[in-house]
Amino acid sequence: MTSSPTPPPPSTGASDSRRPLRRLKARRRDEPHRVATPLELFFDLCFVVAVAQAGVQLVHSLAEGHAGEGVLNYAFVFFAIWWAWMNFTWFASAYDNDDALYRVVTLVQIAGVLVLAAGVSEAFTDHNYVVLWLGYVIMRLAMVAQWLRAAKDAEGAQRATALRYAGGILVCQVGWTVLVVVPDPARLWLYVLMAVAEMCVPAFAERARVTTWHPHHIAERYGLFTIIVLGETIAAATIAVKSGVGENHELGLLVPISAGGLLIVFSAWWIYFAVPIHGHLRSSKHAFLWGYGHYLIFSSAAAIGAGLEVAVEHAVGKAHISDLAAAAAVTLPTALFLLTVWALHSRHYKAGIAQQLVLPSTALLVICCTFLGSWAVLAAGIVSALSVVVAETLTAHRAVPAGR
């Protein structure tokens, strides 16, 4: 009697072959056990360095009373970070073969985001975008190299899609280069134009053929990045509280902010992961809208951390802004996070008007907390936590059959 052959181990997100170089072919969308690779996790961790730098500059702008300019600069810088991350994430979901060349090009992209992070402060303070642009060039040219390699190993419509992506990225990069040299008054409008152009590239490229991104893998990648950003929010708030305690400020001023901040972040995590969103990503139309909407989720989650730092600085007398402005630095990004998660995630899985109204109502109440002065952050945290309790109670009640 012959023994049965040993079944191959399940895929872990990287191909099982260990050859140094191989063809960069599209992966199957229905591939089982598709999970994030160690390289992708490392990629995310390095990108959060740039997110943290943008948050630091946002704190400085808000604490100095330049909220409008600070938020605008933050939105611009965060778009560059988020878009480069998103391009790699969707490409990797369809084409990651984890060979040596793929890894090297990805590490080049990581180097680019670190250069970009080094230029964030100059972009905020002096409107000098040269270093920011250089980091973006490195990331984007590496992305073009990935697409050209995919095109080389593809045929027909699949090859056309890869070439369209590579060409679209190169054309947009020319526009970003122009942005560096034009006068300040024209930059705002050119930036908006270029951002729209960038977001049109996937729609243009995938008219030839849709890439084989993996719904479960994409949902996991976005979820992991959300966790990392929320972790950075906690780290930023912790450093701010530690600074306040170290300078012998009254602990009673900081406890409500710390407790409220923790409740907000814990609630944000719970609310984001309350539903298995991968089942909603059935088509490119649904998935792209969901993916684009995460610009607001990621940026607002990171801004919560910046707002908590501002609230601490205001409490200890470092930020000379009003109570209302300090509270709004936390409550407004929290409300934006709640509304965006509801729009992209929760509403697709809620049944009945009561369940649908939980997050929008919570967002409204969090905004109302802005007017509670030094207790605003704690109140916003309590409201956020109560929304989790209410949502879980409604879900449990609906799951119990009538008469039991």
Q: What was the pLDDT predicted at 3? A: 40
Question: CB-based contacts of 105: which residues, under 8 Å, 6+ apart?
Answer: 142, 145, 146, 149
Q: What is the pTM of this model?
A: 0.87
Task: Please state, in angstroms and rounded to a whole number, the distance separating the CA atoms of residues 376 and 77.
Answer: 28
Nearest to 211 by CA among 153, 173, 165: 165
Q: What was the pLDDT predicted at 112? A: 93
Question: CB-based contacts of 144: which residues, under 8 Å, 6+ apart?
Answer: 166, 169, 170
CB burial of 266-276 (b: ≥16 within 10 Å; e: otherwise) equals bbbbbbbebbe
Task: Please state, in angstroms and rounded to a whole number, the distance separating the CA atoms of residues 148 and 97.
Answer: 15
- Phi then psi for residue 9, to 5 deg, are -65, 150
Q: Dmax of the chain from CA atoms? A: 83
CA 186 to chain centre: 28
| Structural domains present in the chain | 38-205 (no CATH), 215-399 (1.20.1410)
The per-residue pLDDT string of the chain (404 residues; one tens digit each, 9 = 90 and over) reads: 334 344 444 444 444 444 566 788 888 888 888 889 999 999 999 888 889 889 889 998 898 888 888 899 899 899 989 999 999 999 999 998 888 999 999 999 999 999 999 988 888 888 888 899 999 999 999 999 999 999 998 888 999 999 999 999 999 999 888 888 888 778 888 889 999 999 999 989 988 888 888 888 998 999 999 999 998 888 877 877 776 666 655 666 788 888 899 999 999 999 999 877 776 777 777 788 888 999 999 999 999 999 999 998 888 888 888 999 999 999 999 999 999 999 988 777 777 788 888 899 999 999 999 999 889 999 999 999 999 999 888 877 765 444 44
pLDDT tens figures, 60-79: 889 888 888 889 989 989 99
Contact 288, 30 (CB under 8 A): no
Question: CB-based contacts of 208: which residues, under 8 Å, 6+ apart?
Answer: 157, 158, 160, 161, 164
pLDDT tens figures, 272-283: 998 777 767 777
CA 289 to chain centre: 14
- Give residue 214's identity as a one-letter amino acid code: H
Task: Please state, in angstroms and rounded to a whole number, the distance separating the CA atoms of residues 300 and 303.
Answer: 5
Nearest to 330 by CA among 296, 361, 375: 375
H helix runs in 13-129, sequence order:
38-63, 67-95, 100-118, 120-125
Contact 26, 158 (CB under 8 A): yes
Contact 177, 141 (CB under 8 A): no
Residue 120, both tokens: 């964030």
Q: What was the pLDDT predicted at 197? A: 93
- Helices 376-399 and 353-368: crossing angle in degrees, nearest 10, is 170
